[in-house]
Structure 1
Amino acid sequence: MESVTVVLALLLSVLVSGALGRLLPLPLPLIQIAIGVALALGPLPSTSLDPEIFFLVFLPPLLFLDGWRIPKRDLFRDGKTVLALALGLVVLTVLGIGTLIHGMIPGMPLAVAFALAAVLSPTDPIAVSSVAAQAPVPRRLMHILEGEALLNDATGLVCLRFAIAAALTGTFSLPQAATTFVWLALGGIGIGAATTFLLMGAQDLLRRRTGEDPGLQILFSLLTPFGAYLAAEHVHASGILAAVAAGIAMTYVEIQGRSLGATRVRRTAVWDTVALAANGSIFVLLGEQLPEVLRQAVKQADVQGAGWLVAWILAITAGLMAIRFVWVWISLQFVLMKARRSGDRRETPTLRLVAATTLAGVKGAITLAGILTLPLTLADGAPFPARDLSILLAMGVILTSLLLASTVLPPLLRGLRLPPEPSHDAEEDAARAAARDDAVKAIEALQHRLVEEQEDASIAVEASARAMDRYEGLEAATAEPRKDVSRIKQLALTEKRLRLAGIEAERQALYRLRRSEAIDDVVLRRLVREIDLVEARLVV
């Protein structure tokens, strides 16, 4: 009963924080953390989460959704920048910040310091969106940050796994680590993609035999990230990379266009709710555990008061920002040199752009989820060294990065311009035109068949004229009141059938354009959603 109470309290807290977020000029994660602190100080029972359960429940769906929704073409276009931030920056952060932490806190073993640095390396796009709500992030910068967060989640958490293993065994072998990393990466990616294709294949088989049930299709998608994660972990591959790969593979399943519009509309709403609840619950849990962790960490740190703790948090945050600033400048300079070699006008990254990208590396849910997976005990049963202190330092860095970003990032983002990128407007106009042409052809083809099938050919002609309104701007002929009720019903049914045929032709045209990479995921998702909503109104 206590567990149920805790879950309900978390969900209620997310609901309250959402309302307060609309009323208060504060980032949503900060509000949720404050609510968590209030819960910890209140009469409700506190919770002590098992790290493995916490990792399994929260991370797979969040990483899966990030992989699913990130625009793939933009990700590949800025792939060098993304990889530099997601791989090189993570490794540099683990080595640099791990050494810094161990130097400042000699009582913390080096392996534990590296583990803490590993969980501090990933960024959180949800937190970035929250703090940047008052000043929109340029689209290209947001895509780079999303791609970085998608990949550095996995990279940082894989480094965490190595650091924990070193802390538990007291040894570290670079060749063994490299071999293990290859298996973790390749095995995780392969298992994640295979899980998606297998589950979606089973879903298609079920749909063909029994018809489409939106509830079952949504349940398939909800179970996919957990299946990929558990399957990868079972063979000691990376469950994190499996969840990411499963989400990316989901995009290529989706563009086959086999599911109904009503299913997609409901599935989007369900996944939006899952993401809201999962992210919100993580930040509430962060605040809920903060008071007790603070008390335990002060004891472990063996310092007088909290002054040294604050100094350590500020020093770690400053170190993270310095390393990120230098690496971002180098990465952006490297990418822009490509345009310079191709003969385009020379572009150099401004300090304002570099500073905004640095501050946008906000720590959030992934950092908290990772640090809470530190083992409770060593192999011999002794308490894991400096576990509570590590959690406190991670929490402090999360809070500090959120506060810095919420106060400094919006002014930096106002009016910020990045090197130009292709506009989506012309691409969207061309996609709409192609979809419209296919829809008109589909309606005309169906009209010819209906004229031959129906006794009253005028019904098909009149219904076709009405259905064409959406594509040719024609106004439907206003029929005079008739007493023939059966004809009116038949006209309505025929018009609906023609409209649905046109809508399906539109949708398939868009999927065909996406498969040929003529449009990107952003345009596809927006246009397909418009079509799905029109279809939903017709089939109600």
Structure 2
Amino acid sequence: MESVTIVLVLLLAVVISGAVSRMVPFTVPAPLVQIALGATIGLAADWRVALDPELFFFLFLPPLLFLDGWRIPKDELLKDLPTVVELALGLVVITVLGMGLFIHWMIPAMPLAVAFALAAVVSPTDPIAVSAIAARVPIPKRMMHILEGESLLNDASGLVCLRFAIAAALTGTFSASGAALNFLWVAFGGLAIGVAVTMAVTWAKYRLSRRFGEEIGSQILVSLLIPFGSYLLAEHFHCSGILAAVAAGVTMSFAEISRQALPATRVRRNSVWDTIQFAANGIIFVLLGEQLPGILHGARETVAQTGHQNVWWLAAYVLAITVGLAALRFAWVWVSLRLTLLRRRRRGDAGQSPEWRLVAAMSFAGVRGAITLAGVLTLPLLAADGTPFPARDLAIFLAAGVIVTSLVVASIGLPLLLRGLKMPADASAQAEEDAARVAAAEAAIREIERVQHDLAAGRNDADMYASAGARIMDLYRERIEARSQEGEAAEAARREYGIERELRLAGLKAERAAIFRSARERRIGSASTSKLVRELDLMEARYRS
């Protein structure tokens, strides 16, 4: 019963943190509020959450990484793939090696393998935390796509590096050649298993649904089980469960295109996954706050081994690591953007030198978040000989300190840097969207004409079908005309569409209020109310997308 109570308290703290972060007049990232609430719970309550590293890793990371891989825009990622790879792989390797050596030099009490493990867990970035910070200052879409792609890949690469560092810390040995061969098996085996599991499950689901019909609840449950199944199967064959979860998510997006689910399934499944993402990320940060008092006590004891007693040395270590990470990221981002411009100029494309604010914004956006925390909390409790894992509490505290510091610095600096910042133009996106809408509208007109003739054949009221079809086809023809224009006419059409959108939203709001008023006055039943409100909600979601 106590475990259930703890889970409910953690979920309540996540809900409260979301409300508090929206209520304050200035931007406070939800993760900071969640850490503060967790610390309050840890100090006020007389219980502590005992975290099993393996269980914690299994419960939180597979679904979060699966969802990242599923939802990341694939085409946008491919457009900037070289930049993403440079940030996600090259920067991770440099961070693990450079910061690992720096941390061990700065804190000799922390073994080199543990220092590399700490550097590995602070290398992944968190775009969700960046989105929360910049909620009131929109991030350029292209920049956000690069950050999402970087996060997806460096989550996997950083956690794979963590795995090797922990193995070295437990065994006391490390072989570069053995690690390279093992890495190939771990990486490619994990990727292959993630792809195979998702393809097999979606194929079986499609065949069953096509023959016996689709049940929404079971479809949603299957999507929840795929990341855990991929992770467990990969770990069974000693491959990377993390890469398997990422690969499963990426494959899921392609499988969805070829084997479509019902619209109702997609709508409800998205809602379920949004809730899981919000709850999982929130619980991780609340747990961090709840663990901080105990972590701080253990870390102070570890720092004493270096000859220091003052607790402010912990703050100095956190600040030094944060500055080191920022300096490495700034230099790497600058070099990466220069290489991107060089590649474009070799292809004959004209390119402008990156604005310093762009480099600074990309550097500030390297916020550490849930993946870093989840990774560091998976450090083993005991070493191979049964003794406590060396400097575990110190590593957890330093990782937590880097998370908090990066959130605070980014919450102050990012809105200032992002205000008025424009990424290099990507004109093809709007043209592609317009072309797709025109093609869809033309297909709809052809189908409506066909169905209209089939329904009206041999009936006395054929004029009624023709009139109804004409009204619907006029809406599609207006869409084609608006999306086919260019220059000032296209801009005017988009402004007119924006005005129409606001008017439609206002009408939907009035409709919903009238329905709720009728329900309160007992003029319609609850079933009719739910049906009508559901229709209005779907229409509003369409116009707000």
TM-score tier after normalising by the smaller chain length = 0.7 to 0.9
Counterparts of 1:246 and 1:442, CA distance in 2: 36
- Number of the residue aligned with 1:380: 385
Over the matched positions of the two proteins, sequence identity in percent amounts to 62
- Number of the residue aligned with 1:348: 353
Bigger shift: 263-272 or 417-426?
A: 417-426
Q: Which amino acid aligns with 1:239?
A: G
Which of residues 363, 380, 396 in structure 1 aligns to 2:368? 363
- Number of the residue aligned with 1:171: 173
Structure 1 residues 481-524: Cα deviation after superposition (integer angstroms, max 9, x where no partner): xxxxxxxxxxxxxxxxxxxxxxxxxxxxxxxxxxxxxxxxxxxx
1:9 aligns with 2:9: yes
- Number of the residue aligned with 2:500: none
Counterparts of 1:393 and 1:155, CA distance in 2: 20
Which of residues 435, 447, 467 in structure 2 aligns to 1:442? 447
Q: Which amino acid aligns with 1:384?
A: F
* Alignment of structure 1 residues 419-458 onto 2, 5 Å: 419-452=424-457, 457-458=462-463
1:23 aligns with 2:23: yes
Cα deviation for residue 459 of structure 1 reads 5.1
- Number of the residue aligned with 1:72: 74
SS of 1:136's partner is coil
- Number of the residue aligned with 1:516: none
Structure 1 residues 44-68: Cα deviation after superposition (integer angstroms, max 9, x where no partner): 6320111111111111111111111
Cα deviation for residue 448 of structure 1 reads 2.2
1:338 aligns with 2:343: yes
Counterparts of 1:43 and 1:417, CA distance in 2: 48
Counterparts of 2:366 and 2:372, CA distance in 1: 12
Judged with a 3 Å threshold, the aligned counterparts in structure 2 of structure 1 residues 468 and 211 are, in CA distance, closer, same or farther, namely same
Query: How many residues end up aligned between the 2 structures?
Result: 482
1:58 aligns with 2:43: no
Which of residues 282, 285, 309 in structure 1 aligns to 2:284? 282
Structure 1 residues 237-275: Cα deviation after superposition (integer angstroms, max 9, x where no partner): 111111111111111111125211111111111111111
Judged with a 3 Å threshold, the aligned counterparts in structure 2 of structure 1 residues 536 and 375 are, in CA distance, closer, same or farther, namely closer
SS of 2:457's partner is helix
Counterparts of 2:460 and 2:79, CA distance in 1: 56
Please say if residues 85 and 148 of structure 1, whose CA atoms lie closer than 8 Å, have aligned partners that are also in contact: yes
* Alignment of structure 1 residues 35-114 onto 2, 5 Å: 35-43=37-45, 45-114=47-116
Judged with a 3 Å threshold, the aligned counterparts in structure 2 of structure 1 residues 44 and 221 are, in CA distance, closer, same or farther, namely farther
SS of 2:258's partner is coil
Q: Which amino acid aligns with 2:23?
A: L
Cα deviation for residue 131 of structure 1 reads 1.3
Which segments of 5 or more consecutive residues in structure 1 lack a partner in the other structure? 475-529
Structure 1 residues 324-348: Cα deviation after superposition (integer angstroms, max 9, x where no partner): 1111111110001122223333421
The two structures, once aligned, show a CA RMSD in angstroms of: 2.0
SS of 2:19's partner is helix
Cα deviation for residue 466 of structure 1 reads 4.9
- Number of the residue aligned with 1:258: 260
Please say if residues 265 and 532 of structure 1, whose CA atoms lie closer than 8 Å, have aligned partners that are also in contact: no
Cα deviation for residue 467 of structure 1 reads 4.1
Please say if residues 69 and 246 of structure 2, whose CA atoms lie closer than 8 Å, have aligned partners that are also in contact: yes
Cα deviation for residue 12 of structure 1 reads 0.6
Counterparts of 1:247 and 1:177, CA distance in 2: 26
TM-score for both structures, normalised by structure 1: 0.86
* Alignment of structure 1 residues 102-501 onto 2, 5 Å: 102-256=104-258, 258-302=260-304, 303-452=308-457, 457-458=462-463, 460-468=465-473, 470-472=475-477
Cα deviation for residue 70 of structure 1 reads 0.8
Counterparts of 2:391 and 2:216, CA distance in 1: 48
Structure 1 residues 187-228: Cα deviation after superposition (integer angstroms, max 9, x where no partner): 111111111111111211221232111111111111111111
Which segments of 5 or more consecutive residues in structure 2 lack a partner in the other structure? 480-534
Cα deviation for residue 292 of structure 1 reads 1.1
Judged with a 3 Å threshold, the aligned counterparts in structure 2 of structure 1 residues 106 and 227 are, in CA distance, closer, same or farther, namely same
Cα deviation for residue 232 of structure 1 reads 0.8
SS of 2:349's partner is coil
Q: Which amino acid aligns with 1:105?
A: I
Bigger shift: 452-461 or 137-146?
A: 452-461
Q: Which amino acid aligns with 1:309?
A: L
Bigger shift: 178-187 or 39-48?
A: 39-48
Structure 1 residues 340-359: Cα deviation after superposition (integer angstroms, max 9, x where no partner): 22333342123221111111
Structure 1 residues 68-94: Cα deviation after superposition (integer angstroms, max 9, x where no partner): 111111111111111111111101000
Cα deviation for residue 420 of structure 1 reads 2.0
Please say if residues 190 and 241 of structure 2, whose CA atoms lie closer than 8 Å, have aligned partners that are also in contact: yes
Counterparts of 2:46 and 2:269, CA distance in 1: 34
Q: Which amino acid aligns with 1:445?
A: R
Counterparts of 1:219 and 1:198, CA distance in 2: 16
Counterparts of 1:180 and 1:455, CA distance in 2: 75
Please say if residues 2 and 45 of structure 1, whose CA atoms lie closer than 8 Å, have aligned partners that are also in contact: no
Cα deviation for residue 412 of structure 1 reads 0.9
Please say if residues 262 and 536 of structure 1, whose CA atoms lie closer than 8 Å, have aligned partners that are also in contact: no
Cα deviation for residue 451 of structure 1 reads 2.6
- Number of the residue aligned with 2:517: none
Bigger shift: 237-246 or 128-137?
A: 128-137
Counterparts of 1:454 and 1:117, CA distance in 2: 75
Counterparts of 1:535 and 1:395, CA distance in 2: 40
Q: Which amino acid aligns with 1:186?
A: F
SS of 1:468's partner is helix
Counterparts of 1:535 and 1:200, CA distance in 2: 30
SS of 2:350's partner is coil
Please say if residues 34 and 285 of structure 2, whose CA atoms lie closer than 8 Å, have aligned partners that are also in contact: yes
Cα deviation for residue 463 of structure 1 reads 4.2
Please say if residues 109 and 302 of structure 2, whose CA atoms lie closer than 8 Å, have aligned partners that are also in contact: no
Cα deviation for residue 135 of structure 1 reads 1.7
SS of 2:424's partner is coil
TM-score for both structures, normalised by structure 2: 0.85
SS of 1:255's partner is helix
Structure 1 residues 129-170: Cα deviation after superposition (integer angstroms, max 9, x where no partner): 111223221111111111000000000000000000000101
Counterparts of 2:40 and 2:159, CA distance in 1: 30
Please say if residues 206 and 259 of structure 2, whose CA atoms lie closer than 8 Å, have aligned partners that are also in contact: no
Please say if residues 59 and 369 of structure 1, whose CA atoms lie closer than 8 Å, have aligned partners that are also in contact: yes
